[in-house]
Amino acid sequence: MNAIPQSYELWRLAVLRFKDWRQRRAAVSEISQLGHDGERMLAECGLSQSDFRQAMRVAFASKTLLPEAIKSTGVDAEMFENRYPEWNRDMRRTCMMCSARRVCSALLDAKEFEASYRDFCPNASSLDALANRGDCRFAG
């Protein structure tokens, strides 16, 4: 592999991780500043403040990993999000609290997620159901 593209990719990943860290830090700060309203908002999403803080310690898996996981099963993630916002929100919450995010990320990077997600992913049944529906599959 050429050193320039490899170096560019490392910098790109570093910038993305830094941006993600800043977004997570801002989200925790924003919820904390809201006080009881923030607690109520989290409760409406099915999260306690401690769940939220724990989830914010790791990269925004629901924002980055879930769409890629959905795509790996042949489903158009954007179409799914638009067509089924509640289902998408539930899957994001599950993804956010998942302890296997590193495994997920590595398998997505290696293009091996689709073959093995049933072994570890708490959203496996939802991914299967979504893939079997057919109404959000990529055209072609």
Question: Could you report the per-residue pLDDT of 58-70, keeping only the tens digit for each?
Answer: 665 556 789 889 9
Domain ranges of the chain: 1-57, 58-140
**Per this entry, what is the length of the chain?**
140
Query: H or E stretch including 77?
Result: helix 77-83
How far is residue 69's CA from residue 82's CA, in Å, rounded to a whole number?
A: 17
Q: CA-CA distance, 2 to 4, in Å (whole number)?
A: 6
Instruction: For residues 105-115, give the mean pLDDT.
Output: 89
Q: Name residue 137's beta-bridge partners.
A: 75
Averaged pLDDT of the chain: 84
Band (pLDDT 50/70/90 cuts) for residue 20 is: confident
Residue 91: Cβ-neighbour burial (10 angstroms; 0-12, 13-18, 19+): buried
Q: How many angstroms separate the CA atoms of 48 and 40, rounded?
A: 9
